[in-house]
Chain A
């Protein structure tokens, strides 16, 4: 299932950010995040196209939202990179990341759903605010 791969990519982004020492994210991590989000966007658009062909409108609606969310997040990360600003992760975010990692595992075992991906993208964006 393709959505599984999307969740894997999320898991990787978040665990990388979580491992950052000194509560700070550096450019290299931002670069990796950018690359992964770009791949996620590709996969979301690919899934969207398939859903359109299958005329599965419910899925189309969700995927359209996911694509927009992903674009917003990617733009935010790129803006940070361009600004060369360095961002901090506070302990609260760190705890939330741990929770998300666990949720990803659960989601992978049970039913994979795109709502979850949308929520994750929202969280990532708040992180880079």
Chain B
């Protein structure tokens, strides 16, 4: 009787110790950390994709080269220095030394992309260590949140102050319209003014049509870019949530959540302007409901408006 009592006691003790060990291990298993790494990689890929599209819509395009004009210029411009290859190249290809270098804007966007790569590196390293990994996971929440907010702010900026990537096409249309106007005003000197007037009007209609097409194409590419940024921001938001809940979730729950996060991209496309706007607002609302993300958003937006240089270590 006494013996069995001792046995029971030992069994209980063993159970408690085993449970403690198993809780400690399952708190931050390599599998769970691998799931975080997958999500971080997904976040990075989407951010990289979004940044490429942002670069594209901020590209400053030159006017297309007209071969006939190049020939005429080479033959008639007496100031061309044919002994300098860069000069001849500039005339033939339209490329100057200035616009072949990587632009300041591209460099800024590359630096932004590097931050996302760095986040992935952190999660990769984290996967290989056991000691204190739980505490380090908690620390990764901050940069992940910061990167999320950055994607959203970039989307908002494009929506509020859209760049005009297709302006060079408008330049050409404007120039054509100017010439058509000049022709029209000289019609009284023509032999068949009415016939010619009709022809000029037809060409103006054509140009108006082209201008509208430029507007529509441009809006489409802006929407696509905004959508990509929103997909990235949304992935980041979910990654932050996952990090937050990480210690309390088991592998299966984390795996299920990650599968859902990785599969979400298809639900956002840039086809519809009004829906893009709604998505910005929805995501902004979701972020402002998250207590910590809200603080980040406030601090970064404030830094936008204030004149003093950033003194917080928020996103460092």
Q: Enumerate chain A interface residues (CB-CB to B < 8 A).
A: 22, 24-28, 31, 34-35, 38, 41-42, 45-46, 48-50, 52-53, 55, 57-58, 60-61, 64-65, 67-69, 71-72, 74-76, 78-79, 81-86
* With contact pairs A38-B164, A57-B76, A74-B60 given, residues A26 and B307 touching in the complex (Cβ less than 8 Å): yes
Q: Nearest CB to that of A52 among chain B residues? A: B69
Contact between B104 and A26 (Cβ–Cβ < 8 Å)?
Answer: no
Check: B161 CB closer than 8 A to any chain A CB: yes
Check: B289 CB closer than 8 A to any chain A CB: no
Q: Enumerate chain B interface residues (CB-CB to A < 8 A).
A: 58, 60, 62-63, 66, 69, 72-73, 76-77, 79, 90, 96, 98-99, 103-109, 111-112, 154, 157, 161, 163-164, 167-168, 170-172, 174-175, 178, 300, 303-310
Give the distance in Å from the alpha carbon of A10 to the alpha carbon of B72 in the complex. Answer: 33
Give the distance in Å from the alpha carbon of A38 to the alpha carbon of B61 in the complex. Answer: 12
- Which B residues touch A71, using CB under 8 A? 60, 98-99, 103
Give the distance in Å from the alpha carbon of A79 to the alpha carbon of B105 in the complex. Answer: 4
- Which A residues touch B77, using CB under 8 A? 57, 61
CB distance from A27 to the nearest CB of B (A): 5
Give the distance in Å from the alpha carbon of A42 to the alpha carbon of B106 in the complex. Answer: 21
| 6 nearest A-B pairs in the assembled complex, by CB-CB distance | A79-B104, A57-B77, A79-B108, A68-B98, A75-B103, A24-B307
Contact between A24 and B69 (Cβ–Cβ < 8 Å)?
Answer: no
CB distance from A81 to the nearest CB of B (A): 8
User: Known contacts A57-B73, A84-B310; can you find 14 more A-B pairs with CB under 8 A?
Assistant: A27-B305, A31-B161, A41-B60, A42-B170, A45-B63, A46-B174, A49-B63, A49-B175, A57-B76, A72-B103, A79-B104, A81-B157, A82-B154, A83-B111
Q: List 15 A-B contacts (CB under 8 A).
A: A24-B307, A24-B308, A26-B307, A38-B164, A38-B167, A45-B171, A55-B73, A60-B73, A64-B96, A71-B103, A72-B103, A76-B104, A82-B108, A84-B300, A84-B310
Give the distance in Å from the alpha carbon of A50 to the alpha carbon of B171 in the complex. Answer: 10
CB distance from A53 to the nearest CB of B (A): 8
Contact between B98 and A75 (Cβ–Cβ < 8 Å)?
Answer: no
Give the distance in Å from the alpha carbon of A68 to the alpha carbon of B305 in the complex. Answer: 30
* With contact pairs A67-B62, A78-B105 given, residues A45 and B307 touching in the complex (Cβ less than 8 Å): no
- Which B residues touch A74, using CB under 8 A? 60
Q: Nearest CB to that of A42 among chain B residues? A: B167
Give the distance in Å from the alpha carbon of A20 to the alpha carbon of B29 in the complex. Answer: 55
Give the distance in Å from the alpha carbon of A34 to the alpha carbon of B164 in the complex. Answer: 11
CB distance from B178 to the nearest CB of A (A): 8
- Which B residues touch A28, using CB under 8 A? 305
Contact between A45 and B161 (Cβ–Cβ < 8 Å)?
Answer: no
Contact between B104 and A45 (Cβ–Cβ < 8 Å)?
Answer: no
- Which A residues touch B171, using CB under 8 A? 42, 45-46, 49
CB distance from B205 to the nearest CB of A (A): 21
Q: Nearest CB to that of A57 among chain B residues? A: B77
- Which B residues touch A76, using CB under 8 A? 104-105
